[in-house]
Amino acid sequence: MRYIRRGGDRALCRTISDLVDFMYVDAKQLIDDAVRVGTFPAAVIEVGDASGCQWTYAAGTIAHTDVAVDTVFDLASLTKVIATTTLVLRHVDAQLLDIDRPIRESFHAWDSDDRAIVTTRDLLRHSAGLTAHLPLFRNYGGRQDFESAICSSVLEYLPRSQAIYSDLGFMLLGFLLADIAPRQTSLDDQFRWLAADRDWGDLCFRPDRSLLKRVAPTEVDDWRGRLLVGEVHDENCYALGGVSGHAGLFGTSAAVGKFARDTLLATLGQSTYANTQTVQEFIRRTTVPGSSRALGWDTMLTTSSCGRCMSDEAFGHTGFTGTSLWIDPKHNKYVVLLTNRVNPTRENNGIVPFRPRLHDAIMREHQQQS
């Protein structure tokens, strides 16, 4: 089923969908073709601007049922920007967190001389010296073990000399957020309250059983011995109880779209979940040598998953399960793409060339309408 809308009521959009189905016809064809050739079994896309959703489309099946726009996906590393980076922003605004404070003041095991200068800012921009990934779940379980293992791991490079995208740094950010005084509230509770306050809808860690019929399955996981439906795909996050700073969020395209609009509006001068000045700081590319990273977010390169047609102001992120979010303030546009490309196996990498082609098709249509 598909719906096409311009910021209005969903029921009304059903009645007018046939009249405006000429919009994004190339993008629609790309998605249909990708489902047909097995790039992913299911996908939902939402394209919008600061005023609302312009177009949304669902293709494929889950559990022998057609995908719908309310299908819930494992967002994977979109957690890093939607939950973790956003909560950091709010704590910075509330003057509860100084991102230039050395993290060894928070993590006592982070005590070797080679890592003394590392701050929360370094974790956000992936320049803390940490390696990209470690299969900690094979030997550890729970925060204490993970924190000790990460803080005592050998650094891969001199901090701030480069950036290597690292899950480990965002695990530490999740721990740091949970420890912020005076409330010392869990990461999932902090995000749940924020999502409710902003009316983002179906965005949560550890989805309730009532949502399971709408959840797109991910991988047939040999480690857990089952098809994963409604439990986080990332093994390290699973070992942390399904809640982490690097992964764990589930959500619908509409919910991610609401978050995207709040973020877009903030870049355009409206106070939403954080002050515009703070949001602008976090989406600005850092000065780390050779890096496209901002704080939490990635920024536009012609080799990025956003393709070549977005402006140099665009920022976004991807998720391992086949998700992505890109926001372009200059063109007043956001694109949410949710898929379960890891179903039935993570070895399916067809999404890598697909993403830039899709975004280019959408932006070409946008430019034709302008």
Cα angle for residues 271, 276, 277 (degrees, 5° grid): 145
**Spatial distance between the Cα atoms of 23 and 55, rounded to a whole number of angstroms:** 8
- Is there a domain that residue 23 lies in? yes
Both tokens of 26, joined, read 């190339």
Find residue 324's DSSP bridge partners.
Answer: 318, 337
- Is there a domain that residue 11 lies in? yes
| Alpha carbons within 13 A on the beta-carbon side of 93 | 18
Report whether 328 contacts 165 (CB < 8 A): no
Q: What is the pTM of this model?
A: 0.94
Burial tier of 336 (Cβ tally within 10 Å: 0-12, 13-18, 19+): buried
- Is there a domain that residue 133 lies in? yes
Q: Which domain holds residue 13?
A: 1-71+344-370
Asked whether residue 59 falls in the same domain as residue 14, the answer is: yes
pLDDT value, residue 353: 97
Asked whether residue 61 falls in the same domain as residue 92, the answer is: no
pLDDT value, residue 183: 77
Both tokens of 25, joined, read 């016809």
The SS3 assignment for 293 reads: strand
Burial tier of 256 (Cβ tally within 10 Å: 0-12, 13-18, 19+): buried
Nearest to 330 by CA among 307, 287, 300, 290: 300
Residue-wise DSSP of 119-139: BHHHHHTT-SS--S---GGGT
Burial tier of 323 (Cβ tally within 10 Å: 0-12, 13-18, 19+): buried
Asked whether residue 65 falls in the same domain as residue 46, the answer is: yes
Asked whether residue 64 falls in the same domain as residue 107, the answer is: no
pLDDT value, residue 21: 55
**Spatial distance between the Cα atoms of 278 and 186, rounded to a whole number of angstroms:** 23
Asked whether residue 283 falls in the same domain as residue 349, the answer is: no
pLDDT value, residue 152: 95
- Is there a domain that residue 170 lies in? yes
Asked whether residue 59 falls in the same domain as residue 87, the answer is: no
User: pLDDT 10s digit of each residue in the chain, 370 long?
Assistant: 344 433 444 444 444 344 445 679 999 999 999 999 999 999 999 999 999 999 999 999 998 899 999 999 999 999 999 999 999 999 999 999 999 999 999 999 999 999 999 999 999 999 999 999 999 999 999 999 999 999 999 999 999 999 999 999 999 999 999 999 777 899 999 999 999 999 999 999 999 999 999 999 999 999 999 999 999 999 999 999 999 999 999 999 999 999 999 999 999 999 999 999 999 999 999 999 999 999 999 999 989 999 999 999 999 999 999 999 999 999 999 999 999 999 999 999 999 999 999 999 999 987 877 6
- Give how many domains the chain has, as a whole number: 2
Residue 310 vs residues 29, 196, 242, 267, 365: alpha-carbon distances, Å: 20, 31, 34, 16, 12
Asked whether residue 54 falls in the same domain as residue 88, the answer is: no
Q: What's the CATH code of the domain at 110?
A: 3.40.710.10
**Spatial distance between the Cα atoms of 177 and 229, rounded to a whole number of angstroms:** 28
326's CB contacts (< 8 A; 6+ apart) are 305, 306, 310, 314, 315, 316, 334, 335, 359
Asked whether residue 116 falls in the same domain as residue 241, the answer is: yes
Provide φ and ψ at 37, rounded to 5°. Answer: -90, 0
- Is there a domain that residue 321 lies in? no
**Spatial distance between the Cα atoms of 333 and 82, rounded to a whole number of angstroms:** 17
Asked whether residue 96 falls in the same domain as residue 134, the answer is: yes
- Is there a domain that residue 353 lies in? yes
Question: What amino acid occupies position 32?
Answer: D
Asked whether residue 294 falls in the same domain as residue 351, the answer is: no
Asked whether residue 92 falls in the same domain as residue 66, the answer is: no
- Is there a domain that residue 262 lies in? no
- Is there a domain that residue 330 lies in? no
Asked whether residue 63 falls in the same domain as residue 164, the answer is: no
pLDDT value, residue 165: 98
